[in-house]
Amino acid sequence: MTTHPDEAEPTLANWRLAPYSSRSFHNVEALVPVVRAAAGTPRPFETAPTPVDGIAFEGPDGQERRVGEAMAATATRGLVVLKRGRLVAERYGHGYDGDTPHIIFSITKSVTALLAGIVVEQGKLDPEQPVTRYVPEVAGSAYGDCTVRHVLDMTVSSSFVEDYNDPDSDYVRYRRATLWNPLPPGEKPESLHEFLADMRPAPEPHGEIFRYLSPNADLLGWIVERAAGERIVDLLSDHLLRPMRAEAPGVITVDRDGSPRTGGGLSLRLRDLARLGELMRNHGEVEGRQVLPRDWVTDIREAGDSRPWRKGSMAYLFPEGRYRSQWYQTGNASGSFCGIGIHGQWLWIDPAREVVIAKAAAQPEPVDDPTDALMLRAFEAIAAAV
């Protein structure tokens, strides 16, 4: 691992806790098994440096704040801002220099859904088909009677609870299955797929309520691999990182059987995360080449049903928003959409202002509502100013 004077030694038991996370979030492969997705020939950014730290905005509390202050308050390790594809701002700190992949947590879900769109375009995957058409192993689980679209849009009816801090919850069992948590002495780990096949249903029908459940995105990865007949790591390399001319390999964690954690295990350089955002801003096109299916990108940006979102527990974040294929639609006037990861990872795309913002952080809490509210104001201010 790279070191920094302020960093403490991370272990498998503490790597997601502060202060250890400041070091571990860009050294995940030292703690958890990983596979690597190859990059391509880098596409350098044109630059147009623009100071962003001094940009002022009104915070959620009505007080004037500045972008630099907001970044410091949210344990930001890296920030990359693009305007019409030009690099206008880039900053790193607190032991992170941007030259190693940083875990993006649940923005991984958004990437997985892009791979699903590629396989849909190939004619190998139909979102309206039952999950069991592709993964019959989950027939006896909560997924036994839902469709791939339910999985994509997080409207699966399941009793699983996404509680990051409860030491006695099923979430701990889930993390052990992904090798993200140490096992009790003498206990053999179950695989991620075994865990997914044991997910229990909830009473309401599928499609009614937005329920944010990370295992859904791991199941999506399993579905995509089965439908495509290829490994996620190869799809990621051949159909995304190489074509978009990423500058560094992606790193994704795997379980005991080599199954990837497509719900949260991907690490990328922050500049490559910004490239991904620029790809989405340009409707899946890079240098005149259609890398992602244009219709799939448009669907992510514009389609979806707002009713399940409004019934879910996250509607406060984007009251006019929706959730479509593992991406958040904000419902704001600029048509902004984003991917979000715990501990402060963001990929923000503002199509109207032609701005992309990628942010890496090591916030102490996995989910911090006041911090999220602050960052939404900061992103709007950056997009308006640059």
At residue 187, the pLDDT reads 86
pLDDT in tens, 204-235: 999 999 999 999 999 999 999 999 999 999 99
Mean pLDDT to the nearest integer, 34-52: 94
**343: pLDDT strictly greater than 90:** yes
Residue 144 banded pLDDT, cuts 50, 70, 90: very high
Residues 6+ apart with CB under 8 A from 76: 93, 344, 359, 360, 361
Candidates 276, 279, 308, 342; CA nearest to 149 is 308
Beta-sheet strand order (sheet of 266-268): 34-37, 250-253, 266-268, 102-103
Residues annotated as catalytic are 106
**What pLDDT shows up at residue 2?**
45
Predicted confidence (pLDDT) at residue 3 exceeds the cutoff of 50: no
Q: What is the C-alpha separation between 125 and 122, in angstroms, rounded?
A: 8
CATH superfamily of 21-385: DD-peptidase/beta-lactamase superfamily (3.40.710.10)
Whole-number Å distance between alpha carbons of 196 and 44: 40
What band does 109 get if pLDDT is binned at 50, 70 and 90?
very high
Query: What's the pLDDT score for residue 208?
Result: 97
List pLDDT tens digits, range 287-329: 999 999 999 999 999 999 999 999 999 999 999 999 999 999 9
In percent, how much of the chain has pLDDT > 90?
92
Q: What is the mean pLDDT of the chain?
A: 95
**Domain locations in the chain as residue ranges:** 21-385
Closest of 168, 135, 84 to residue 351, by C-alpha: 84
The neighbouring-strand residues paired with 289 are 286
Query: According to the model, what pLDDT value does residue 253 have?
Result: 98
pLDDT band of 162, cuts 50, 70, 90: confident
CA distances to 11, 36, 119, 175, 213 from 162, rounded to whole Å, are 23, 27, 28, 11, 6
SS3 36: strand
Question: Rounded to whole angstroms, what are the CA distances from 384 to 46, 83, 318, 352?
Answer: 20, 11, 19, 10
Is the pLDDT reported for residue 357 higher than 90? yes
pLDDT bucket at 7, cuts 50 / 70 / 90: low
| 89-92: long-range contacts, CB 8 A cutoff, minimum separation 24 | 89/49, 89/50, 89/51, 89/52, 89/382, 89/386, 90/271, 91/53, 92/270
Dihedral through CA 241, CA 112, CA 120, CA 308, nearest 10?
-140
pLDDT for 364:
95
Per-residue buried b or exposed e for 130-166, using 16+ beta carbons within 10 Å of the residue's own CB: bbbebbeebeebbbeebbbbbbbbbbbbbebebeeee
Q: What tokens does 137 get?
A: 């192993």
Tokens of 25: 């979030």
Task: Quote the pLDDT of residue 241.
Answer: 98
Rounded distance, CA 326 to CA 235, Å? Answer: 18
**Does the structure show a pLDDT above 90 at 352?**
yes
Adjacent-strand bridge partners of 327: 324
Is the pLDDT reported for residue 188 higher than 90?
Answer: no
DSSP-derived letter for residue 130 is: B
First to last CA, the chain: 35
Q: Which residues contact 307 (CB under 8 A, 6 or more apart)?
A: none
Range from 39-48, 271-280, 333-342 carrying the lowest mean pLDDT: 39-48
Q: What is the pLDDT of residues 125-139, one digit of tens each?
A: 999 999 999 999 999
pLDDT of residue 186: 86
Q: Give the least confident one: 26-35, 187-196, 266-275.
A: 187-196
How confident is residue 22, by pLDDT bands cut at 50, 70 and 90? very high
